[in-house]
Structure 1
Amino acid sequence: MIYFKFPFDEKLYSTDENSDNKAVVFKSFDQTESVDFKGGIFEVENIAERFSGKLLPKDESNFTAETHDEYLEKLQEVIEVIKENQLPKLVLSRRKIFKDFNDINIEESFKNLCRAYPNAFRYIFTQGEKSWIGAFSEVLGKFNKTTHEFETMSLAGTIPVSESWTDKEIKEQKPVSSYIRNVLAKFNANSEMQESETYDHISGNIKHLRTDFKLKINPEDLDLIIEELHPTPAVCGIPKDFCREKIKQFEKFPRELYAGFIRIETDNFIQYFVNLRCAKLYKDSVHLFVGGGITAQSNPEKEWRETELKSEAVLKNLSFSN
């Protein structure tokens, strides 16, 4: 069972499971895992009463979160790899595991998240042993079935809303834009690609640098474009294949659905959202997935603080009873 809201749309949606059409699909970061919700998409008034914290599985993962010192030590190793190989960026993530509660109020938690992030794709689902919640506004792709226009964005760099951009964040975002620009150039269907100025993208208590792209494509190229765009440098690094291997080497836990993407098909659009600012829910714990773009200029302590800040995006909106 899934409930979700589109960006800037406060209508609540679910799926009816009345057909084999895959209305909503969650793909893992490495694309080996897929969570599918079949049928059509329809509007609902409220989350069903039976959709409660009682549905959540127990945490039997035996994972232990990395400590502050462990993560800083690993970041230093990653920075050395970046310098040795002259990488523009490599993305490292971790899990923050929260256990100090008795029950999660699923409905209230989702409502809180929806209020906090009106410009995001917001969802909560339970399927078998998997239960996830998330809200993030990075669009991997949006395809208009009528006009064949394809939109995407370059989103990178993270600082608190009150702070000013530094050279580190600007240098982190530029290669992401360059990567997307080069991918889209291969699929341009005889139309001029539109590219916006880079501007601030506010997401709760933090902001990112954002550049928008739009062009007409051939519909049969849509899957190929998504395949080339994912994982973007914003969740992986540059060059993609090298960074993917280093992520496997350095990260303590599998990313699962974190930094993967969500595909939603409606009558008029096929939309793809990057699955960041998300958490895996259990009866007795919450696994918050957070990460950051590491460059040669990165300061490990500052990167740790950035992940702590990102974890609050979901954690501060969860409703617990102790």
Structure 2
Amino acid sequence: MLYFRFPFSEKIYTTDENSDKNPVSFFSFDQSEVIDFEGDIEEITIEDFAKQHYNSDLLSSNLMEFWEEKQPKYQEKLVEVIDFIKINDLSKLVISRRKLLNFNGSKINLSETFLNLCEAYPNAFVYFFIKDGKCWLGAFSEVLGKFNKKTSQFETMSLAGTIPVNEDWTSKEIEEQQPVTDFIHDVLKEFSEEIEQSETYDHISGNIKHLRTDFKVKIKAENLEKIISELHPTPAVCGIPKDFCKNAIRQFEKHSRNLYAGYIRVETEDYIQYFVNLRCAEFFKNAALIYVGGGITADSSVEKEWNETELKAEAILKNIAFT
């Protein structure tokens, strides 16, 4: 089963599994796994959803023998990453980690956690699913792509750089976001001669903010999936050059990202939308893994990068409801 809410909406949707359509699909970061949800999309009221009472008792598997990467080890790795960035003259490389939340015999109210995320992040795509023994929840507002079937307009955004909402931008965040903007512009110009590009502005997401630049272009419908494959993974979740950085991620990260930093495809009557799957967590019967990461540059401070991942983890952690 799957429940989700679009950005700036108060409606919750599910799939009824009564047709062979695949309106919602989750793609893993490396695209080796796709989780499809069949049926027609239908609306469910918040009141009806709240009656479902989903909790971690429904989950079949426990998380066993998990080794969590603590601050000293993570920062040691980032020192190596920064040296690697300098040697290879990279503008940015995105490195992730997993934070463990042990339930310590308690149960998680998954329904209430989903509703908490909906309330805390009104501008985010929020989802909750259980399928084939897997359970994920997430809430993030980066749009990989939005295609209007009637007008053929395609929208996307450059979203990068992360600081607390009450702090001011530094050159580090600006230099982190600019290559993402340049990358997206270069991809889009292969498919359209006219590109609308906004000014860069603040995008607030709960306790943190990012730098954001919006794009709009007219494209041919048959090019949509090709554009998405060119955009994913964006420098915001990977780095530049894309293939080189994907290999570097495999070298430095000892864990699989699974669905983290992948994307979610949602098709409705009027739109096909693609959402980047960040600020997400994988739930088990006894624990949860919160996936977080950050864009590392030659000027990165390893302590600040650790603190940034802790701040991002709070986006999920502070909204988890225990029964």
Could you say which TM-score interval applies, normalised by the shorter chain?
over 0.9
Contact 1:200–1:209 under 8 Å retained in 2? yes
1:69 to 69, 72, 78: 72
Aligned to 1:210: 212
Q: Deviations over 1:160-214 (max 9, x none)?
A: 00000000000000000000000000011x5x21000000000000000000000
Contact 2:164–2:209 under 8 Å retained in 1? yes
Aligned to 1:163: 167
**Whole-angstrom distance in 2 between the partners of 1:20 and 1:204:** 37
In structure 1, list runs of 5 or more residues that go unmatched: none
**Whole-angstrom distance in 1 between the partners of 2:66 and 2:170:** 35
Q: Deviations over 1:47-88 (max 9, x none)?
A: 262643221233244321101100000000000000000000
Secondary structure of the 2:23 match is strand
2:56 to 44, 50, 53: 53
Contact 1:94–1:252 under 8 Å retained in 2? no
1:111 to 103, 115, 120: 115
1:187 to 175, 188, 191: 191
Aligned to 2:33: 33
**Whole-angstrom distance in 2 between the partners of 1:161 and 1:284:** 33
Is 1:297 equivalent to 2:299 in the alignment? Answer: yes
RMSD (CA atoms): 1.0
1:94 to 71, 78, 97: 97
Query: Aligned pairs, how many?
Result: 319
Moved over 4 A (4+): none
Aligned to 2:201: 199
1:143 to 142, 147, 150: 147
**Whole-angstrom distance in 1 between the partners of 2:60 and 2:120:** 26
Q: Deviations over 1:4-45 (max 9, x none)?
A: 100000101000111111111000000001111011100012
Cα deviation, residue 245, structure 1: 0.3
Trace 1:273-284 onto structure 2 (pairs within 5 A). Answer: 273-284=275-286
Q: Deviations over 1:221-265 (max 9, x none)?
A: 000000000000000001100100010011121000000000000
**Whole-angstrom distance in 1 between the partners of 2:201 and 2:54:** 39
**Whole-angstrom distance in 2 between the partners of 1:65 and 1:270:** 37
Contact 2:63–2:287 under 8 Å retained in 1? no
- Of all paired residues, the percent bearing the same amino acid is 61
Q: Deviations over 1:134-174 (max 9, x none)?
A: 00000000000000000000000000000000000000000
Question: Which one-letter code corresponds to 1:11 in the other structure?
Answer: K
**Whole-angstrom distance in 1 between the partners of 2:246 and 2:88:** 14
In structure 2, list runs of 5 or more residues that go unmatched: none
Is 1:2 equivalent to 2:6 in the alignment? Answer: no
